[in-house]
């Protein structure tokens, strides 16, 4: 077993992924959470004002009201990075990566606080969404809460098979190209990482 602590510093804004509408969140997004206790925990963590529109995605909140990521969002990023690395092949490829990440790679912290640069607050990012449907092209407006460049998170990764940590490092390297959070394929949520001493 190997355990390492990492600091991620976002050099692009990171966007929230949770629905600001608790009913939608309860029925769909939270139902995808890995276990029943986390479902209730995540629904309660949204803590947004009623006037925020239903279409806005936000960050979940800690009991202190700070924006957070959950541990499984980091694992979801790892799965996306592992999938991309599998296309490269060779030592980059990890067979059965979903099962191995689910069962052998763990993030110690349940809630991971997004530490904004001093004096900064969360903002919002609006962008058009385009889709081709049966009645032709359509455009809608998407809105997400955002944390600015310079935002930092810290978390600890534990792997039960030692050589999996090499893959974790590779996946973190991938975060410079394709990040975490909503609209990450556009470049949002990209980061640099460093290993830090555990407290």
Confidence grade of residue 45 (pLDDT, cut at 50, 70, 90): low
Ordered alpha helix ranges (H), 4-161: 22-24, 36-45, 71-88, 97-104
β-pair partners for 142: 127
As its CATH architecture, domain 2-19+55-129+141-196 has: 2-Layer Sandwich (3.30)
pLDDT at residue 113, rounded to an integer: 97
For residue 103, pLDDT over 70 is answered with yes
pLDDT at residue 32, rounded to an integer: 55
For residue 177, pLDDT over 60 is answered with yes
Question: Using an 8 Å Cβ cutoff, are 147 and 125 in contact?
Answer: no
Beta strands 18-19 and 56-58, pairing class: antiparallel
- Closest among 116, 105, 114 to 171, alpha carbons compared: 105
Confidence grade of residue 143 (pLDDT, cut at 50, 70, 90): confident
Measure the CA–CA gap between 186 and 150, rounded to whole angstroms: 18
Confidence grade of residue 135 (pLDDT, cut at 50, 70, 90): confident
């Amino acid at each position: 077993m190997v355990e390492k602590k990492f600091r991620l510093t976002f050099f692009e804004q990171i966007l929230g992924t949770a629905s600001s509408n608790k009913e939608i969140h309860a029925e769909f997004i939270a139902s995808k959470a890995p276990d029943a206790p986390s479902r209730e925990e995540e629904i309660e963590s949204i803590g947004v004002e009623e006037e925020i529109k239903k279409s806005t995605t936000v960050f979940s909140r800690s009991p202190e009201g700070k924006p957070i990521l959950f541990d499984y969002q980091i694992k979801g990023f790892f799965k996306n990075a592992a999938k991309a690395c599998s296309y490269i092949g060779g030592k980059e490829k990890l067979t059965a990566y979903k099962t191995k990440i689910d069962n052998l790679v763990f993030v110690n912290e349940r809630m991971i606080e997004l530490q904004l640069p001093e004096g900064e607050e969360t903002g919002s990012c609006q962008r058009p969404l385009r889709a081709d449907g049966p009645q032709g092209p359509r455009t809608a407006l998407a809105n997400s809460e955002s944390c600015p460049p310079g935002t930092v998170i810290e978390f600890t990764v534990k792997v039960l098979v030692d050589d999996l940590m090499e893959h974790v490092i590779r996946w973190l390297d991938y975060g410079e190209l394709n990040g975490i959070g909503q609209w990450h394929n556009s470049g949002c949520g990209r980061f640099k990482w460093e290993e830090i001493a555990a407290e």
